[in-house]
Structure 1
Amino acid sequence: ISDVFEKFENFTESLSQVVDLDIMPGETDFSNSFLPQQPFNTCLFPSLRDKQRSSVNLVTNPHQFELEGFTFLGTSGQNIKDILLNSECLNTSADDNTKCLEKIKHTMEIRHLCPTAPDTLRTYPMTESDPFVVAPSPEKAQLLLEHDDMDTSMCQYKDFHTQPP
């Protein structure tokens, strides 16, 4: 395992000299399993920690950031996988892929990243607020959805902030 981490650190080190990196944990990574997942511990990447690169950020899952005036929101997919496990989209034929993609779009339309939590998706208990509620976006928001073995779709919401949550 140490060889894998060393190769990853070397790759990250060279890439971070050119572009800022946000490293987000996934379902099978060395992180907690409950959403929102906490950032990787810096002890996993001693070389990056020692060099204290400001261009490398260990972030939570889900993670939101802004780039050139656009807001991006990403997850590693546990939320979508759980929706698919609890829906009729278990078959992966072309017609079913379209249905699954519609369900992914639906999470943005209802403005909730984890609609199956906490029933079937492990999440921390929250008493003050729900961290998976998606805040209203600017007047025009575009969403590009892409998934392995699925179609790609672009949907555009005009006056997104005026639609009911």
Structure 2
Amino acid sequence: MKAKVLDIQGKEPCWAIGTVYCELKYKPNILEEVINDVYRAPDLTKSYTDPEGSDEIMLEDESGRVLLVGENIRATPFITGAVIGVLGMEADAGTFQVLDICYPIPIPQKPLSLSPGRSAVAGNKKIAVVSGLNISTTSPRRLLKLQLLQEYLTGNLCSPELISNIGKLLVCGDSLSFKFDTSSSGELVNCLSTLGNFLSNVTQSIPVALMPGAKDPSNRSLPQKPLHKALFSQTLGAHLEEVNRDVLKLVTNPYYFHIEGLEILATAGQSINDICKYLIPNQGSSQEEDTIEHRLDLMECTMKWQNIAPTVPDTLWAYPFPSSDPFLLDEWPHVYIVGNQPGYGFRDLDVHGRKIKLISIPVFSSTGDVVLLDLTTLETEVINIGA
């Protein structure tokens, strides 16, 4: 194994370890965005790739970069920021023919605790997960869906016994549909009031954890801070008092929490959405390439890379941490939830004997889907709230 990528010598098979860097034709430049003062501008780019094949994938360390080539490059997702090891040999000067790939050594995972809730045979506890409410006071259809969701979660659309097993509602970001460049402040106030009334009614039945997302009035850079209490002072004043902190939690994105012996990691989906742009062809067939299985593949990759946001800060805004990376995993969760995806999907992942449940949560405003996760069996169920 070579200590540095620049130590690679011709025709000598070796291992090299480094960080992947992708030079893509349509990849945005964050420094230029800052200089041109377009920090809050929406990202309309669907793909960073060049259909003509000019993109390059490199492995870099403190000594320099080497260009990666070979069939494995096309068969395996290579994303900026992922730390990997590659086996191969120098093909031409400055290029490395990749024959095999390895990932970081396994990290620990807490054993599933046998809490009373997990050992119960009947009456299994569940959590409801939803994302992408995209509340807009100018869209009657979305408001109707939101009302039906409220009626379901409060037990008015189904048997109260079924709802009694739901111990928590997790909202994975993008609760509002508000454009900072064109929408008025009055429209934002109306959207926040609608969201606040929804939360006030639902919390009478079940506790709620509310995460921010890309469209919500929170900091754009990751990790996102919780939505500020002042945004809901008119509708949720009593719920935000210290005595009610377990009823309504305004949480961060990403959100790591413990419930019924499970370690659950949830994100609002910005990272997976950004990673997709590194791989989806920049042409008409991009929708065919971007399937839910493809998204689950990328979620699996982030677990193997042990980094849930590798493209930070290259193409995804992030707060600079001088001595640590908050997106690196110290241990694997039992459940990994990603919100605001095109559709629902799940996968049971086994990484070196550690089992992880991957769950893709669809955009509610488009699909009307709510996902129920059984905390005992880790089985999932989709409830469609049609409107």
The TM-score range, normalised by the shorter chain, is 0.7 to 0.9
Aligned residue number for residue 48 of structure 1: 236
Given candidates 57, 74, 77, the residue that maps to 2:269 is: 77
Which structure is higher in helix share? 1
Within the alignment, does 1:160 sit opposite 2:348 as a pair?
no
- Residues 55-114 of structure 1 deviation map (CA, whole Å, 9 limit, x = unaligned): 111111111111111111111111111101122366121x54133331122112211110
Identity of aligned residues (%): 30
Corresponding letter in the other structure for 1:156: L
* Closer, same or farther: CA 66–133 of 1 in aligned 2, 3 Å: same
Given candidates 181, 185, 194, the residue that maps to 1:7 is: 194
Given candidates 24, 30, 36, the residue that maps to 2:223 is: 36
Within the alignment, does 1:27 sit opposite 2:203 as a pair?
no
| C-alpha distance in 2 between matches for 1:7 and 1:147 | 20
| C-alpha distance in 2 between matches for 1:48 and 1:160 | 40
Maintained 8 Å contact 1:101/1:145: no
Aligned residue number for residue 16 of structure 1: 203
| Distance apart, 1:8 and its partner CA | 1.6
Which ranges of structure 1 fall in alignment gaps of 5 or more residues? Answer: none
Given candidates 306, 312, 324, the residue that maps to 1:129 is: 324
Which ranges of structure 2 fall in alignment gaps of 5 or more residues? Answer: 1-186, 356-387
Equivalent residue of 1:48, what SS? coil
How many residue pairs get aligned? The number is: 158
Maintained 8 Å contact 2:223/2:319: yes
* Closer, same or farther: CA 145–124 of 1 in aligned 2, 3 Å: closer
Which structure is higher in strand share? 2
Maintained 8 Å contact 2:211/2:226: yes
Q: 1:95-134 maps to which residues of 2 (within 5 A)?
A: 96-97=290-291, 98-134=293-329
| C-alpha distance in 2 between matches for 1:8 and 1:132 | 29
| Distance apart, 1:34 and its partner CA | 0.4
Q: TM-score with structure 2 length normalisation?
A: 0.38
Q: TM-score with structure 1 length normalisation?
A: 0.82
Aligned residue number for residue 65 of structure 1: 257
Greater Rg, structure 1 or structure 2? 2
* Closer, same or farther: CA 145–6 of 1 in aligned 2, 3 Å: closer
- Residues 3-41 of structure 1 deviation map (CA, whole Å, 9 limit, x = unaligned): 322222121112112222111111011011000011111
